[in-house]
């Protein structure tokens, strides 16, 4: 299965080219919250999507009836289809699927309607509340717009959502259920209740006086993640289908690992056993030797527990080869996009494969001694990469890993 189209909505740029350029330059997408008044909140910083007009993708009336998470999903899907040069009118709609996840769904809509219910009563609830709020609606909305009548799925596995969704799409295409699947994730959780909830858990960085340096994966001074938002969608195709239409191929999706820690509702298993198993599964499915892995886009949240666990898991699996593997974290620039994180990070790996650019991990001043891995620092590394892993680990102990490689024809 190959990737033939890319669509991105992110805190550092909208559209593939703008996103890729920003990654290479180490652009920081973190700043003070502007989507609502956060002056009284313990955390006042986030990585917001900027310069985004839903009217570019949806009619005004349609945009008013849909949540911001749907706006992002629609935009990223349209970009991916355009980038792939795929003419959906020429496809059998029953052979086109949509696998698009969201960890929080329409959390902004939920907040607004619950507030209206409490303050003004049940008659003030919007008739669009439920379809605007439920997590499967980005997938359903995109399918309706694209007349995609093939398999459809919305994974909801917290921070591992997009990675699981893309991984399950691999199986659907391998089983022969579809020729094309739009796959990825979308999230729009920078809302009063979203920020307050994560802040109450003490999961977020409270570096309110220095937002640009708040997201610092693997750094000894990290103090939590920065909430992000956005969407990423990939056009996944069965290889022969892509070749028949002379599609541009970014890379091959060749491996997927899916495990559970069964340890704690939020904390990862500190020994990293579940993460190790997921990486092993992805490598085995790809048919690689572990020593062939050259790059890992880490989950790298900038939280003390996650970064330490992930680094130990990488060292446990790869042993001495760990020192030869480049590791970086996209979250250092875009924050933690929750259900969209995995696809944004996989797109960053596509850049590494296509352009020979491993983007930096900005804000890494001094690596934590508890993270014994080869993390790319504040400057990009220019190197030909052909095999890479993308790691994502979600609350509840969900672990998902994807393996991609260069397409050699």
Q: Do both 81 and 210 map to the same domain?
A: yes
Q: Do both 231 and 262 map to the same domain?
A: no
The whole domain housing 397 covers 256-401
Burial of residue 116, with CB atoms counted within 10 A of its CB: 0-12 exposed, 13-18 middle, 19 or more buried? middle
3-state secondary structure 24-76: HHCCCCCEECCCCCCCCCCCCEEECCCCCCHHHCCCHHHHHCCCHHHHHHHHH
Summarize pLDDT for 274-290 with one digit per residue, the tens. Answer: 999 999 999 999 999 99
The per-residue pLDDT for 200 is 97
Q: Do both 211 and 293 map to the same domain?
A: no
The whole-angstrom separation of Cα 379 and Cα 377 is 6
Q: Do both 45 and 131 map to the same domain?
A: yes
Summarize pLDDT for 71-100 with one digit per residue, the tens. Answer: 999 999 999 999 999 999 999 999 999 999
The per-residue pLDDT for 409 is 81
The whole-angstrom separation of Cα 374 and Cα 322 is 7
Is 209 inside any structural domain? yes
Q: Do both 158 and 61 map to the same domain?
A: yes
Mean pLDDT of 133-158: 97
Examine the residue annotation and report whether 154 is marked as an active-site residue of this protein: no
Mean pLDDT of 374-389: 97
The last residue of a domain, from among 194, 212, 244:
244
Summarize pLDDT for 107-133 with one digit per residue, the tens. Answer: 999 999 999 999 999 999 999 999 999
Summarize pLDDT for 29-77 with one digit per residue, the tens. Answer: 999 999 999 999 999 999 999 999 999 999 999 999 999 999 999 999 9
The last residue of a domain, from among 202, 220, 244:
244
The per-residue pLDDT for 88 is 97
Q: Do both 40 and 153 map to the same domain?
A: yes
Q: Chain-wide mean pLDDT for the chain?
A: 97
**Active-site residue (options: 146, 154, 159, 371):** 159
The per-residue pLDDT for 373 is 98
Q: Do both 229 and 268 map to the same domain?
A: no
Is 407 inside any structural domain? no
Q: Do both 275 and 188 map to the same domain?
A: no
Q: How many separate domains does the chain show?
A: 2
Is 37 inside any structural domain? yes
The whole-angstrom separation of Cα 312 and Cα 223 is 19
Mean pLDDT of 389-407: 98
Residue 261 sits in a domain of what CATH number? 3.40.47.10
Is 67 inside any structural domain? yes
């Amino acid at each position: 299965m190959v990737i033939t189209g890319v669509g991105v909505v992110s805190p550092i740029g909208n559209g593939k080219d703008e996103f890729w350029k920003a990654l290479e330059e180490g652009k920081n997408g973190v700043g003070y919250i502007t989507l609502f008044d956060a002056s009284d909140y313990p955390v006042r910083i986030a990585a917001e999507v900027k310069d985004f007009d839903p009217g570019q993708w949806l009619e005004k009336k349609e945009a008013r009836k849909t949540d911001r998470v749907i706006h992002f999903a629609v935009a990223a899907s349209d970009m991916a289809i355009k980038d792939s040069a795929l003419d959906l009118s020429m496809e059998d709609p029953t052979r086109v699927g949509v696998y698009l996840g969201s960890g929080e769904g329409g959390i902004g809509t939920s907040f607004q309607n619950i507030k209206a219910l409490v303050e003004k009563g049940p008659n003030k609830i919007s008739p669009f509340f439920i379809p605007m709020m439920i997590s499967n609606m980005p997938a359903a909305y995109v399918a309706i717009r694209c007349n995609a009548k093939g398999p459809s799925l919305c994974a909801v596995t917290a921070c591992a959502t997009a990675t699981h969704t893309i991984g399950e799409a691999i199986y659907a295409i391998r089983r022969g259920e579809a020729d094309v699947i739009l796959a990825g994730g979308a999230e729009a959780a920078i809302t009063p209740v979203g920020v307050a909830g994560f802040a109450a858990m003490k999961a977020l960085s409270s570096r309110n006086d220095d937002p640009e340096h708040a997201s610092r994966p693997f750094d000894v001074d990290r103090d939590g993640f920065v909430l992000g938002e956005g969407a990423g969608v990939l056009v996944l195709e069965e290889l022969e289908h892509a070749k028949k239409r002379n599609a541009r191929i970014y890379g091959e999706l060749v491996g997927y690992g899916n495990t559970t820690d069964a340890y704690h509702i939020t904390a990862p298993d500190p020994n990293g056993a579940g993460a190790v198993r997921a990486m092993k599964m992805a490598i085995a499915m790809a048919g690689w030797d572990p020593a062939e892995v050259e790059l890992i886009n880490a989950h790298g949240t900038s939280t003390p527990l996650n970064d330490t666990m992930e680094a130990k898991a990488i060292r446990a699996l790869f042993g001495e080869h760990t020192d030869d593997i480049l590791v970086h974290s996209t979250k250092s620039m875009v924050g933690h996009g929750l259900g969209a994180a995995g696809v944004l990070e996989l797109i960053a790996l596509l850049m590494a494969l296509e352009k020979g650019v491993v983007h930096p991990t900005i804000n890494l001043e001094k690596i934590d001694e508890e993270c014994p891995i080869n993390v790319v620092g504040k400057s990009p590394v220019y190197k030909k990469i052909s095999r890479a892993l993308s790691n994502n680990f979600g609350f509840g102990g969900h672990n998902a890993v994807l393996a991609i490689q260069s397409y050699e024809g």
